[in-house]
Amino acid sequence: MALSKEQIAKRIAKEIKNNSYVNLGIGIPTLVANYIPEGVNVVLQSENGLLGMGPFPIEGSEDPDLINAGKQTITTLPGSATFDSALSFGMIRAQKVDLTILGAMEVSESGDIANWKIPGKMVKGMGGAMDLVASAKNIIVAMQQVNKSGESKLLAECTLPLTGVKCIKKIVTELGVYEILPEGGFQLLERAPGVSVEEIRTATAGKLIADENIPEMVF
């Protein structure tokens, strides 16, 4: 079975290292805050000016003054701090963020990412994505592997305007976990429970490197 958005976030949460600073992008990445493994100390950063995000609030306890970059209400943890976006982007550009988790519309087999604009459609702006992909020490993409028309979003080359070039290290989709190889290509590391390697090949338009003994994800 293909993973839900929550399961994608839960799998990515396993990638977070102890004592790290992590930025969560809009969409699926924001769900990662709910699945930080027990015993892992992490400081979550939001580019609108917040360090120390907790999980999403329980319904009825939301504070409208506490929001993330996607305008979702959030919780704070003891020791959290709020500040202006200039300081926040100073942290990002100074490479103080250890890991960035982003959503994407397309990722290429060489690690390019397109996640901010579809030509002809109105957008409010690129947000912090371009700063993040240019500055983060490590970048993981959380995304759906195929679009609503059933077309792959893991491509040989991106067709949409790029956010960053050769910057993505790892991708987690509803079908599998992939690593971008230095020479190019999506190396399949894990597959969603019950999903075959052949199904993943069909859903991958770019170069896929995989044998037939790929382990299933363990939650």
The residue from 6, 38, 47, 190 that is catalytic is 47
CB 69 within 8 A of CB 26: yes
β-sheet bridge partners, residue 152? 146
Cβ neighbors of 145 (< 8 A, separation 6 or more) are 152, 153, 154, 173, 174, 175, 176, 203, 204
**CA-to-CA separations, 150 to 51, 172, 204, in angstroms, rounded:** 38, 18, 11
Q: How far apart are CA 39 and CA 57, in angstroms?
A: 21
Whether 47 is catalytic: yes
Closest CA to 215 of 193, 186, 187: 193
Please report the DSSP string for 103-133 in residue order.
Answer: --SEEETTS-EE-S--TTS--S--TTHHHHH
Residue 120, CB half-sphere, CA atoms under 13 Å: how many?
A: 1
Cβ neighbors of 20 (< 8 A, separation 6 or more) are 42, 43, 98, 99
State the catalytic residues: 47
